């Protein structure tokens, strides 16, 4: 018999959030957007650095890599995803998520395909460049291609 | 009642000036994103920690914290931090609402987030309004806090199970695996709506 303790909780936050004063959601949105806009350039540079770091890591990978060799890519992908909204790099963020999906597959034991990693990194680097000259629909096509690569790692 | 259809209105008002919010951030510029969001929400002075050990020390002091937001990318220890918070922190911090931020939202990772005792998971890139909505959800969360061997946190059960998360049906052939066409790679990332269903049920929480 497993003893289960149950407690009904009412977070203090619920009471505090309803105190008089505060801000409307509209005012919060305007304030937050102004604050994030001020971070845009920093985030953009950080995204470029993450791409450069991934490229370095990829060049140094043993063939085939062990799961522990691949795990550092997750953190860098997460960084790009996290920055994507502020740095206006939404497509690069989606491309980074495709790479995460590929990593999941390889770490789970699917056949290692260095070409798939190269394709993903090249695409992420391209989508992180402000002067890539691609229209949004072309970027969409690149991301769709990467999703396909991640879905069919054996091809 | 929080739920999938719960949306904020521009005129809704929230006051977080007196709330004590702890942010477990990744040591990168993304950290500033999180902090700036909370300054924008009206939090006067969020407590900013860059390592799980630092955050744990803070919650162990017993000084009440009203909300904890953890970036799962923060030194890889965020899940462990939440588990230790739930099992070992003094009251009331042990019951403090936790929102976990994930970049890659594979079902496996979302399940880990749920099983470590987090209240909600928010997918990155962060949308200011989505995160704010989840703070409203936390305020309205009616789930019981349960403690049992191996788990402490919000009740993970919900009444309405609904359809499976992906695919049109439960048959093997529905998954596409039988066709030989789709050799699935890793797990797909879940959308924010799928994460919410996974964590709290399609109806928005247990009753």
Tens of pLDDT, residue by residue over A144-153, are 999 888 877 5
Cα separation values, B130 from A23, A145, B95, B122, Å? 17, 28, 23, 8
- Given an 8 Å threshold on Cβ–Cβ distance, is A153 in contact with B149? no
Inform me whether the pLDDT recorded for B3 exceeds 60: no
Q: pLDDT, tens digit, for every residue of A48-68?
A: 999 999 999 999 999 999 999
Q: Residue B1: its pLDDT value, please?
A: 39
DSSP run (H or E) holding A17: helix A12-17
Beta carbons of B15 and A18 less than 8 Å apart: yes
Decide if pLDDT at B172 tops 60.
no
Average pLDDT, chain A: 90
| Residue A91 banded pLDDT, cuts 50, 70, 90 | very high
**Length of chain A in residues, anyone?**
155
Chain B residues within an 8 Å CB radius of A16: 15-16, 18-19, 66
> How far is it, in rounded angstroms, from Cα A148 to Cα A137?
16
Chain A residues within an 8 Å CB radius of B124: 78, 81-82, 84-85
More confident residue, B57 or B170: B57
Whether this prediction's pTM lies above 0.90 is answered by no
List the single range of A78-87, A113-122, B103-112, B157-166 with lowest mean pLDDT: B157-166
Q: What is the pLDDT of residues B80-135, one digit of tens each?
A: 999 999 999 999 999 999 999 999 888 888 899 999 999 999 999 889 999 999 99
* Higher local confidence (pLDDT), A127 or B139: A127
The whole-chain average pLDDT of chain B stands at: 80
Enumerate the residues of chain A whose CB falls inside 8 A of the CB of residue B41. Answer: 23, 28, 32
On the question of pLDDT at B173 being above 50, the answer is no
The Cα of A133 is separated from the nearest Cα of chain B by a number of Å equal to 23
Choose the most confident range, by mean pLDDT, from B30-34, B83-87, B126-130, B145-149: B83-87
Confidence of residue B178 (pLDDT cuts 50, 70, 90): very low
- Is A82 a residue whose pLDDT tops 60? yes
* Cβ-Cβ contacts under 8 Å, A47 against chain B: none
Q: Which pLDDT belongs to residue A154?
A: 55
Can you give the pLDDT at residue B158?
62
Mean pLDDT of B62-85: 88
Closest CA to B98 of B122, B75, B130, B74: B122
What is the distance between the alpha carbons of residues B34 and B18, in angstroms, rounded to a whole number? 18
Contact B41 A35 (CB under 8 A): no
Nearest chain A residue (CA) to B103? A78
Q: Which of A60, A154, A66 lies closest to A111, judged by CA?
A: A154
The H or E element containing residue A49 is helix A40-59
Distance CA B107, CA A96 (A): 17
Least confident of A113-117, B112-116, B169-173: B169-173
pLDDT at position B28 is 65
| Tokens at A83, concatenated | 């920055």
Q: Of A81, A101, A154, which has the smallest distance from its Cβ to B124's Cβ?
A: A81
């Amino acid at each position: 018999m497993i003893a289960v303790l149950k407690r009904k909780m009412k977070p203090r936050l619920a009471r505090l959030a309803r105190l008089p004063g505060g801000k409307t959601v509209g005012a919060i949105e305007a304030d937050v957007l102004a604050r994030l806009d001020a971070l845009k350039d920093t985030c953009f540079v950080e995204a470029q650095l993450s791409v450069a770091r991934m490229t370095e890591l990829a060049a140094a990978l043993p063939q085939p890599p062990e799961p522990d060799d691949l795990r550092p890519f997750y953190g860098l992908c997460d960084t790009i995803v996290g920055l994507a909204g502020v740095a206006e790099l939404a497509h690069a963020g989606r491309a980074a998520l495709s790479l995460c999906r590929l990593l999941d597959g390889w770490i789970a034991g699917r056949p290692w395909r260095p070409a798939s990693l190269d394709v993903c990194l090249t695409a992420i680097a391209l989508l992180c460049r402000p002067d890539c000259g691609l229209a949004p629909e072309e970027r969409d096509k690149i991301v769709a291609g990467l999703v396909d690569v991640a879905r069919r790692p054996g091809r | 009642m929080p739920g999938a259809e719960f949306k904020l209105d521009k005129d809704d008002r929230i006051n977080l000036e007196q709330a004590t919010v702890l942010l477990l951030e990744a040591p990168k510029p993304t950290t500033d994103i999180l902090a700036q969001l909370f300054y924008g929400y009206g939090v006067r002075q969020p407590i900013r920690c860059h390592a799980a050990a630092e955050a744990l020390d803070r919650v162990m002091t017993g000084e009440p914290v009203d909300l904890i937001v953890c970036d799962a990318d923060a030194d890889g220890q965020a899940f462990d931090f939440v588990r230790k918070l739930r099992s070992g922190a003094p009251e009331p911090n042990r019951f403090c609402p936790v929102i976990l931020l994930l970049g890659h939202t594979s079902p496996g990772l979302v399940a880990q987030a749920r099983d470590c005792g987090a209240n909600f998971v928010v997918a990155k890139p962060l949308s200011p309004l989505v995160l704010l909505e989840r703070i409203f959800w936390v305020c309205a969360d009616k789930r019981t806090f349960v403690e049992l061997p191996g788990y402490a946190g919000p009740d993970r059960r919900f009444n309405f199970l609904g359809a499976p998360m992906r695919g049109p049906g439960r048959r093997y052939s529905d998954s596409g695996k039988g066709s030989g066409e789709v050799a699935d790679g890793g797990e797909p990332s879940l959308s924010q709506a799928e994460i919410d269903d996974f964590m709290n049920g399609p109806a928005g929480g247990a009753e």
